[in-house]
A = this chain, B = another copy of it.
């Protein structure tokens, strides 16, 4: 792995676990056994480093979901919906840094004044909502899911699942302990 990739990885972890302002370029440098000037050689500013981090997280998320749906095939829309929820929770555990980063406020603040940031965030959330929506559309077509507003319900399901992950990341409640009830709620929402 190149030094630049090293820096990106370390920065992802530090921005996710400590926050943007709370992470110093010196910390990133120390973690990668580099001089702090090296970071500025590869990334023109701290903000630019953050944008690269967010972009790589975006790529990672899209790739992970893409792989999952390449391998897995579902016979009904409801099955796909439940599978997506499960995979979302799995990913939130397996790639905790990504979701920690997305559950901080900084990215959304930066998005207000930076279009690259805005675009990365939109790509990420569209990826999520699109998949939930697709499951709902398929489910309505095959009769496994009842009549409801597809896009908006997709958003609400994302809101529920993501809210649970946030609760877990904030040490408020354990997402795992709620898994069965979450699936039960999803089935009630999808009920015909």
Asked if A97 is at the interface of the complex by the 8 Å CB criterion, the answer is no
Which of A19, A105, A170 has the most chain B CB atoms inside 10 A of its CB? A105
A160 to B152, CA, bound (A): 13
B-binding residues in A (CB < 8 A): 19, 21-22, 103-106, 108-109, 111-112, 121, 125, 148-149, 152-153, 155-156, 158-160, 162-164, 166-167, 169-173, 177-178, 181-182, 184-185, 188-189, 191
Which of B111, B167, B189 contacts A188, CB < 8 Å? B189
| Contacts A112-B171, A159-B163, A191-B191 given; does A19 touch B148 at CB 8 Å | no
A28 CB to closest chain B CB (Å) equals: 17
Which of B22, B153, B185, B189 contacts A153, CB < 8 Å? B185
Smallest Cβ-Cβ distance to A18: which chain B residue: B109
Q: Which residues of B contact A22 (CB under 8 A)?
A: 21
A166 adjacent to B164 (CB under 8 Å): no
B149 adjacent to A181 (CB under 8 Å): yes
A149 to B184, CA, bound (A): 10
Which of B121, B148, B156, B163 contacts A166, CB < 8 Å? B163
A178 adjacent to B152 (CB under 8 Å): yes
A50 CB to closest chain B CB (Å) equals: 14
A97 to B23, CA, bound (A): 25
Q: Which residues of B contact A153 (CB under 8 A)?
A: 181, 185
